[in-house]
Amino acid sequence: MKLLSAISGIIRVRLLLLLLALGCTTAATAQLRYGFRFGGEFAAASLKNAAGYRLENRSGFSGGLALEYQVPVNGLAADIAVLYTRYNTRIANPGEDNLHSFGRNFIEVPIHLKYKFWLHSTKDLFGPLVYTGPSFMMAVGSKSDNPLSTKRFQPGWDVGIGFDIINFIQITGGYRFGLGNAVDAFSAAPDATLRTNGWNISATLLFDF
């Protein structure tokens, strides 16, 4: 009985050591990478209850640094980026064609949860992906000669799709839903609501630490 008990104890210890080794291996092979993201922004802002004022949305751009954590045993990943974003939308007075810019420059911080569908035949070569998560825009400049002023902090929610190529290049395209009313003050239309929606397409280059 003592021999069986000793053997059982040895087996349990070895199983525990094996589980710990597997856990350490998984943690060690998890991929934390940094990189650079750049792309195009296409404003799709909506303005309602604006007393005849209208918006004209135009294209802009974004660029900055990104950090991605990839779980090695599946396609789950998370990333965060710090971007300079030109959100290019302008406003026109009622009955006028002249456009006035307001609050177009932002520091944007998107935080995305992604899933990559790695194909068995092309493992680590090509993988479609989907992503979603919040996006926080902080205005860094505004125009004072405008009846409309926007809030400094403008949250949103991103959804999108894309693909990962050889764990190095990611091409994505998505849509940003502006959350809440971005109007801070609008003397001509106190009840106006502005949503900073928008389309975007970007490329991210990732490198191992």
pLDDT for res 104: 86
pLDDT for res 72: 80
- Tens of pLDDT, residues 46-79: 999 988 888 999 999 999 999 999 988 788 999 9
Mean pLDDT across 21-36: 61
Could you tell me the residue ranges of all domains in the chain? 30-208
pLDDT for res 33: 94
Nearest of 6, 48, 21, 204 to residue 114 by alpha carbon:
204
pLDDT for res 97: 78
**Would the pLDDT of 195 be above 70?**
yes
Strand duo 99-101 + 31-43: pairing: unpaired
Q: How confident is the model at residue 22 (pLDDT cuts 50, 70, 90)?
A: very low
Worst-scoring range by mean pLDDT, 28-37, 115-124, 148-157, 200-209? 115-124
pLDDT for res 26: 39
pLDDT for res 188: 83
Q: Is 2.40.160.20 the CATH number for 30-208?
A: yes
Q: What is the pTM of this model?
A: 0.80
| Greater pLDDT, 20 or 59 | 59
pLDDT for res 166: 84
How many percent of the chain have pLDDT more than 90? 55
